[in-house]
Amino acid sequence: GAGVSQSPRYKVAKRGQDVALRCDPISGHVSLFWYQQALGQGPEFLTYFQNEAQLDKSGLPSDRFFAERPEGSVSTLKIQRTQQEDSAVYLCASSLEGDKQYFGPGTRLTVT
C-alpha cells in the first residue's frame, strides 16, 4: 500500500528564498507530524496536527517556519527567508491513532 510521500526529495535554495515542502500522509491517518533532522543527529520534533488542527507547534525554531494542513490530509511546511542553519532533512510522519508513526523519506533542504 501507499506510504507517506514527500516532495520534493531534494531542494536547493539560495539564502533568503522561501520554500514549501509537501507531505502526503497515509490515507485516513488523523495525526501528522513534522520533524527536522540535522546531519548526524536524531529527528527533532517541529509540529503536530490532528486532522486540520495544529495542536502543537512548540518545536518550530522561529516564526519563519509555518505549517498547515487545511483539509486534514496533505500538509505543507513553509520556510520563509531561508537561512543556512535551515539546511537539514525535513521528515513527515503520519499516524492513525498517535501511537506508531509512519515516516516519509524526507526532503533534504540545502540552503546556499
Partner 1 sequence: DAKTTQPTSMDCAEGRAANLPCNHSTISGNEYVYWYRQIHSQGPQYIIHGLKNNETNEMASLIITEDRKSSTLILPHATLRDTAVYYCIVRGALYNNNDMRFGAGTRLTVKP
Q: Using alpha carbons, select from 27, 29, 23, 31 the residue that is nearest to residue 105.
A: 23
Please tell me the distance from the alpha carbon of residue 34 to that of residue 44, in angstroms, as a whole number.
Answer: 9
Contact (Cβ atoms closer than 8 angstroms) between residue 64 and residue 17: no
At its nearest, how many Å lie between partner 1 and the CB of residue 49?
9
The number of residues that bind partner 1 (CB under 8 A) is 25
Q: Which is nearer to partner 1, 43 or 82 (CB)?
A: 43
Among 42, 53, 71, 84, binds partner 1 (CB under 8 A): 42
Q: Which of residues 2-41 bind partner 1 (CB under 8 A)?
A: 4, 31, 33, 35, 41
Please tell me the distance from the alpha carbon of residue 87 to that of residue 94, in angstroms, as a whole number.
Answer: 23
The alpha carbon of 43 is separated from its chain's Cα centroid by a whole number of angstroms, namely 11
Q: Summarize as ranges the residues that interact with partner 1 (CB under 8 A).
A: 4, 31, 33, 35, 41-45, 48, 50, 55-56, 91, 93, 97-106
